[in-house]
Structure 1
């Protein structure tokens, strides 16, 4: 069995907030001659600039999630028959606050989900924080989890997405700073410790410094860009590799989701005011003990 998912990752410079026509043309150009049903991903705040490389003021750029922008993006995904993650956008919530939000659209032209960034880059990013994790089921393919840039520095976020069923974590990024080197390491670490695919898509210059990459559940870099240029990173991943690695172990050895067994003593987690309970460590666990 195999569950292939074509990826089209756009390491692109940002665009003006209202340049939906230009964005549509860019998506069409990158998707041309590619596999149907691909997952197309753009960087953080791709449609969020006031000038080349300059992020727009959040309150000025924000609009409700179901506004004009949403209709254009829905139609675009439907017309091209793709799963579309257009990066993230400034969303004006019903509570009047502004969020950094990643929507996901289906090949049927439906918005399936929207994830609000849980960990804005403090003190530089002044938008409100999201308060829920988000995974999305791609019908007939598998499950992806959503994270935005600085979220990748917090292992709890990737862990929870994997626990919720994510087989691929899509991390949209806008990093123009020297810590991109650490983010590359963290992408591999999050893939290894959670045995999932990770796709980290950074902006091209002048909005970011590139170095986008795809990492497999063993932590191996499958594909990457080598500079900050505008480029399209493509790959076809098999989501069944997640279950294979979890069954046989990373490097044929380590099975982190089978570490705790029913009957083991719970481990208190004073850091969170909670605990690891072996009975719920693996949400997908069956009642049978796995063979070793």
Structure 2
């Protein structure tokens, strides 16, 4: 058994004032209550909230304070994410800090929540890192997981645990809980999803094992989620199958070598997907109805008129 203890922090997030001091306090509380914790994970945009006016360049004071906390307790730390300013663009960026207080990785969210998360530039690099003598971890942020290819790519890069800071306060949270279970099972990995509260989300953080079963699911209150994971379970699942049954990673491996996933080949036409129209924010139904009426009226005005077998234009 290769045990590794991760604590998720589900906490209230303000969009008006900085949440950094409260994050530091939560780290202190966690390490005093659960001193065996080896990694702490916060929710997406936890430090400064979901508004882009808080965007700042990296490195910055926030990273410095988080590095100091990681070094103080000798823990791995993923302090959620922040909006990062870089070369005139804004990214949603998460930082990975090791127990010596060194930054070893930064990850930019690949799928901003368009058309709602406007003004955010997507990242283009996957992020995995190794915890020595434990295993390989992958980073995914919120909407990323709605695109199975992202988690599958992290898995093919060897990730055994997916760390997933999220910020969901919308009514599709129930759907996300099922996606976490699906991603954990089809990729045979641990999936550690941490949501925030108030402007940081509706809570209901969830952790699943490599068989897709729920190890813990929070409700809508502040909570520290300390769990000791057995990383060997991932390897066993991938070698022997989920519950000694399906072996999806092996089947996927064997299938991709045949090159049968044509939709992923360059320049393959996708007429149906193209027919869906542009990526736009939905509007009021009465506005859509008004637009439809205008279109119908225009069609009638330009259509030919049939009268006693004759056509009048």
What is the TM-score normalised by the length of structure 1? Answer: 0.85
Give the superposition deviation at 1:181: 0.4
Unaligned stretches of 5+ in structure 1?
50-54, 275-292
Larger-Rg structure: 2
Tell me the equivalent position of 1:24.
Answer: 24
- CA distance in 2 between counterparts of 1:69 and 1:34 reads 24
Alignment of 1:65-144 (within 5 A): 65-93=58-86, 95-126=87-118, 127-144=120-137
SS in 1 for 2:106: strand
- CA deviations 1:80-112 (Å, max 9, x no partner) are 11111111111112x221100111111110111
Contact 1:36/1:81, CA 8 A, preserved across alignment: no
Q: Aligned partners of 1:261 and 1:106: how far apart in 2?
A: 32
CA displacement at 1:232 relative to structure 2:
1.1
Deviation at 1:268, TM superposition (A): 3.4
* Structure-2 separation of matches of 1:91 and 1:36: 32
Is residue 235 of structure 1 aligned with residue 234 of structure 2?
no
Q: What is the distance in 2 between the residues matched to 1:254 and 1:120?
A: 33
- Counterpart Cα distance in 2 of 1:189 and 1:208: 21
Matched residue pairs, number?
264
In the alignment, does 2:212 pair up with 1:219?
yes
Measured in 1, the distance between the counterparts of 2:257 and 2:191 equals 32
> Does structure 2 retain, via aligned residues, the 8 Å contact 1:205–1:230?
no
| The 10-residue stretch of structure 1 (70-79 or 257-266) with the greater mean CA deviation from structure 2 | 257-266
After TM superposition, the score normalised by the length of structure 2 is 0.80
Give the gaps of 5 or more residues in structure 2: 267-313
Secondary structure of the residue aligned to 1:169 is strand
d(CA) in 2 for partners of 1:40, 1:110: 15
Partner deviation per Cα, 1:122-177 (whole Å, 9 max, x = no partner): 11102110001101111222111101111111000000001111101011111011
- Partner of 1:92, secondary structure, is strand
Contact 2:13 2:19 in 1 (8 A): no
What's the offset of the Cα at 1:260? 5.8
Report the RMSD for the aligned CA atoms in angstroms.
1.9
1:263 offset after TM fit, Å? 10
The Cα shift of 1:20 comes to 2.8
